[in-house]
Amino acid sequence: MVSAEERSRRRILLTVAYDGTAYHGWQVQNNGITIESELNRCLSELFGEKIAVIGASRTDAGVHALGNLAVFDTSARMPAEKMAYALNQRLPEDIRIQCSREVAGDWHPRRCESRKTYEYRIYRGEFPQPIKRLYALFVYRKLDVERMREAASYLVGEHDFKSFCQTGAQVESTVRRIYELTVEEQGQDLVIRVCGNGFLYNMVRIIAGTLLEAGEGRRSPRDMQTILDKRDRAAAGPTAPAHGLTLVKYDWD
Amino acid sequence: MVSAEERSRRRILLTVAYDGTAYHGWQVQNNGITIESELNRCLSELFGEKIAVIGASRTDAGVHALGNLAVFDTSARMPAEKMAYALNQRLPEDIRIQCSREVAGDWHPRRCESRKTYEYRIYRGEFPQPIKRLYALFVYRKLDVERMREAASYLVGEHDFKSFCQTGAQVESTVRRIYELTVEEQGQDLVIRVCGNGFLYNMVRIIAGTLLEAGEGRRSPRDMQTILDKRDRAAAGPTAPAHGLTLVKYDWD
């Protein structure tokens, strides 16, 4: 039998933005403060019940987000839309809820068809720009943007991205679909923007590291096909540093 | 008579970029680390002689710079162009020299005809964006950009900006010339960009605070003329917070 309290429980979806600089990534861990642990702490304080969120993307230390997702269940009576304001009063200023709303009780952020968008930002200059140091990778070497675009084109579509997955990651399938992968110049910034149905562990950072090698002339754009075919992490370029990466948004139907 | 050492002394001009978040402003003071004190410390260590820079703009705590200027004299033999690299090895990562070069021995950054450009950045949203929190003023209220532009137009040209100068500042004249004052939308950001031959203490931040009042509908754009005419700080709007302000560049002939 379902209790009255169970019936009154609602599932709330949060859109979460954060500056990842000060955190040990998203996921709760024993030896450091994480985005997830801060959300759990503030939600539990706010509602006076133990709450544990389920996140959509377990971003690494130093990675930023404009729109990660988290859900939790609560029997609190506060209107869902007000929760963003109440939570932001308690959260540290480098985490800010952008939206809070009720979703179906069985909605799960990792079990829905979604399009995820990431940006990897590069700052090109002779010297680093201090106000960008935490949000963009500084690159001194000259980059051939057209070569990077050509290299990127090989990755669009459905492929086995095993070569672009950190070894040791446990996943059933390494096949993913990239809908769009662009390299855009924004003044001295270069923004690699990728939209796909899902990403393997470190996949966007390995793509960025490999596109950078193409841009520096150390790889031919056509190498990308070879890398895909090898299904071997060692075939791709290095994992680009975390701080250039931002999870931009999740879209779903 | 001029000694051999005096003859070999050179004046070096540095273009200095910094994230002002962690500093008590530019100017050396007793109770806190400043941009100037860090430059003096690193230059003195590097060259093994006591060096004190002269800065172009004494920015306040929290204000950022892409291109502030500083000069110093040294008898060190290092090629001027290499000094940027050597200094950046020693400076904290939130200060980075962008250029180092020799200038005439009597060149002084505050005694030359120059055009100074500042940007005041505003982030418009329902909630703050964590990765912008240190570099843009968060504004929740709706802003009428056209009203802000109309208000800004009254300030272009040569005027007595006494109403836009922090009271207590000691200056001979409060007349300045603004060459350009624009309000540009960059996605959710709004950038007030101002170029002039000089700025009074807090002038850009008071202009920003007053334009924001016009944008919020709390002032008519035509008020700007009245404010100028009154020559009274109390007539203008509030001083906008420091962290939205960035000194972009100095140009001179």
For residues A97 and A34, membership in a common domain is answered with yes
What kind and span of H or E run contains A5? helix A4-8
Check if A22 contacts B (Cβ < 8 Å): no
Domain presence at residue B109 = no
Q: Same domain, yes or no, for B99 and B11?
A: yes
Is residue A63 domain-resident? yes
Q: Determine the average pLDDT of the residues in B19-38.
A: 95
A108: in domain:
no
3-state secondary structure of B188: coil
- The residue among A71, A103, A135 that closes a domain is A103
**Contact between residue A130 and residue A58 where contact means Cβ atoms under 8 Å apart:** no
Region B60-76: mean pLDDT is: 96
What are the start-end ranges of the E strands in chain B?
A: 10-18, 54-55, 64-74, 95-103, 114-124, 137-139, 157-160, 175-186, 189-196, 245-252
CATH (domain of B150): 3.30.70.660
pLDDT (average), residues B207-217: 98
Which sequence positions of B are flagged as catalytic?
A: 60
Average pLDDT taken over every residue of chain B? 95
Whether residue A153 is contained in a domain is answered as yes
User: Using a CB-CB distance cutoff of 8 angstroms, which residues of chain B are in contact with residue A18?
Assistant: 130
In a domain, A161, yes or no: yes
Residues A85 and A138 in one domain: no
Residue A110 phi/psi, 5-degree rounding, is: -105, 0
Angle among Cα B114, B230, B235 to the nearest 5 degrees reads 90
Q: Answer whether A116's CB lies under 8 Å from A195's CB.
A: yes
* CATH number for the domain that contains residue A30: 3.30.70.580
Q: Do the chains contact at B96 and A129, CB–CB below 8 Å?
A: yes
**Bigger pLDDT: B201 vs A111:** B201
Single out the residue in B76, B103, B130 at which a domain terminates.
B103
Q: What is the pLDDT of residue B58?
A: 93
- The reply to whether A172 touches chain B by the CB within 8 Å rule is no
Chain B residue numbers touching A88 (CB-CB < 8 A): 127-128
Does B129 contact A84 at a Cβ distance shorter than 8 Å? Answer: no
Burial class of residue B6, CB neighbours in 10 A (0-12, 13-18, 19+): exposed
Tell me if B127 and A84 make a contact (CB, 8 A cut-off): yes
Neighbours of B193 (CB within 10 A): 18
Q: Are B103 and B72 in contact (CB under 8 A)?
A: no
Total count of domains within chain A: 2
Q: Cα–Cα distance between A74 and A8 in angstroms, integer?
A: 8
Answer yes or no: do A159 and A205 share one domain.
yes
Say if the Cβ atoms of A93 and B133 lie within 8 Å: yes
The tokens describing A23, both together, are 């955190």
Question: How close is the nearest chain A Cα to the Cα of B171, in Å?
Answer: 31
B137 plus B232 within the same structural domain: yes
Same domain? B69 vs B149? no
Residue A20 lies in a domain: yes
pLDDT above 90 coverage of chain B, percent: 90
Q: Is B91 within the bounds of a domain?
A: yes
A186 at B interface, C-beta within 8 A: no
Residue contact A131–B135, C-beta within 8 A: yes
Beta-bridged to residue A74, according to DSSP, are A10
B96 vs A contacts (CB less than 8 Å) = 127-130
ipTM topping 0.90: yes
User: Same structural domain for residues A125 and A246?
Assistant: yes
Domain end, chosen from B77, B103, B129, is at B103
- What distance in Å separates the CA atoms of residue B68 and residue B185, rounded to the nearest whole number? 25
pLDDT of residue B2: 60
Amino acid type, B97: I
Cβ atoms A112, A198 nearer than 8 A: no
Domain span including residue A228: 115-252
DSSP assignment, residue B184?
A: E
For residues A72-104, one letter each, b for 16 or more C-beta atoms within 10 angstroms of the residue's C-beta and e for the rest, the string is bbbebeeebeebbebbbeebeebbbbbbbeebe
- Residue A153 is classified by DSSP as H
A84 Cβ contact list (under 8 Å, min separation 6): A14, A97, A98, A99, A100, B127
Residues B40 and B59 in one domain: yes
Q: Do B202 and B230 have their domain in common?
A: yes
User: How many angstroms away from the CA of B23 is the closest CA of chain A?
Assistant: 13
Active-site annotation holds for A73? no
Mean pLDDT computed over B163-179: 91
How sure is the predictor about B5, in pLDDT bands with cuts at 50, 70 and 90? low
Q: Which residues in chain B touch residue A135, judged by CB atoms under 8 angstroms apart?
A: 131
- DSSP-derived letter for residue B160 is E
pLDDT tens across the length of chain A (253 residues) = 566 666 689 999 999 999 999 999 999 998 899 999 999 999 999 999 999 999 999 999 999 999 999 999 999 999 999 999 999 999 999 999 999 999 999 999 887 788 999 999 999 999 999 999 999 999 999 999 999 999 999 999 999 999 999 988 778 899 999 999 999 999 999 999 999 999 999 999 999 999 999 999 999 999 999 999 999 999 999 999 999 999 999 998 7
Long-range contacts of B186-191 (CB under 8 A, 24+ apart): B188/B123, B188/B124, B188/B125, B188/B129, B189/B121, B189/B122, B189/B123, B189/B124, B189/B132, B189/B136, B190/B121, B190/B122, B190/B123, B190/B124, B190/B139, B190/B143, B190/B145, B190/B148, B191/B119, B191/B120, B191/B121, B191/B122
How close is the nearest chain B Cα to the Cα of A17, in Å? 7
Nearest residue of B to residue A95 by CA position?
B130
Task: Tell me: do B130 and B248 sit in the same domain.
Answer: yes
Mean pLDDT across B10-32: 95
Nearest chain A Cα distance for residue B108, angstroms: 24
Residues B246 and B133 in one domain: yes
Please indicate, yes or no, whether residues A93 and A178 belong to a single structural domain of this protein. no
Give the one of B93, B98, B133 whose C-beta lies nearest to A133's C-beta.
B93
How far does the CA of residue A238 sit from the closest CA of chain B (Å)?
24
Q: Out of A60, A106, A144, A229, which one is annotated catalytic?
A: A60
Residue A110 lies in a domain: no
Question: Which among B64, B97, B130 is the nearest to A18, CB-wise?
Answer: B130
Does residue B18 register a pLDDT over 70?
yes
